Amino acid sequence: MKKNLSVTIVIPTCYGGDSLISTAESLFASTNVRTFRFMIVSDRFPIKPATRKKLEKMGVLPVKNPQTFVEGAMASNIRMVYNTAKLWNGGANYLAASGRCLAFRMSLFSKFRIPEILVNADMYFLLENKRLNGKFAMLPDAKVFIRPPQKLKDQVGPSSRFQYQKEELKKFFDFNYANEYRVPMTDAIQAVMKEII
């Protein structure tokens, strides 16, 4: 007995912008494919009403992924840390480097000491850059959208490495880097106010 298989294409997205329309058009323009159901799941930002309307008219089912309590709390915390990083020292600080995508000039990076075993690489690279008198700049327009942890256990594992970050870095740097961790209170307060107002 022949089974009638159905095909569903699901695209997860954090940013519900107009580019979704061209993506949908491209998929629907595919040739020699069987009929399929098409869903777009928005994780972080809701799909704009005008975009949603166009997608629905094309036959796309836009879905808003439900946010857990932990995910909402973590998203709020991430925004506060990000806004603090932008304010503090013009974005040249460890909050702007910690857990971020970092890029270096090869002329400088080739001089980096790279340990074989390293847990807190982002903070290490920031301090190694400083040791070599390199400059650091935060690029707020270069964004990568990643869904925050949905459960507490999802956050505990990755965050545990930060608990002994300072101890690990002591092995590699002989200069006093304590000031790198001193977040200016005024910047932190501004970031919190921006989040709650």
Q: What is the DSSP letter of 18?
A: T
Identify whether the C-beta of residue 20 lies closer than 8 Å to the C-beta of residue 26: no
Q: How many separate helices (H) and strands (E) can be counted in the chain?
A: 9, 3
What is the number of other CB atoms lying within 10 angstroms of the CB of residue 29? Answer: 7
Instruction: Report whether 125 contacts 132 (CB < 8 A).
Output: no
Angle CA(81)–CA(83)–CA(88) in degrees, nearest 5? Answer: 90
Task: Check residue 63 and give its pLDDT.
Answer: 81
With helix as H, strand as E and coil as C, how does the chain read? CCCCCCEEEEEEECCCCCHHHHHHHHHHCCCCCCCEEEEEEECCCCCCHHHHHHHHHHCEEEEECCCCHHHHHHHHHHHHHHHHHHHHHHHCCHHHHCCCCCCCCHHHHCCCCCCCCCCCHHHHHHHHHHHCCCCCCCCCCCCCCCCCCCCHHHHHHHHHHHHHHHHHHHCCCCCCCHHHHCCCHHHHHHHHHHHHC
Task: Give me the half-sphere count of Cα atoms (radius 13 Å) on the Cβ side of residue 129.
Answer: 21
Per-residue pLDDT of the chain (197 residues; tens, 9 = 90+): 566 667 888 888 876 678 888 888 988 888 887 788 888 888 767 788 888 889 999 888 888 776 788 888 888 898 999 999 999 999 999 999 887 888 899 999 999 999 988 888 889 999 999 999 999 999 888 877 777 888 888 887 777 777 788 888 888 998 888 888 899 999 999 999 999 88
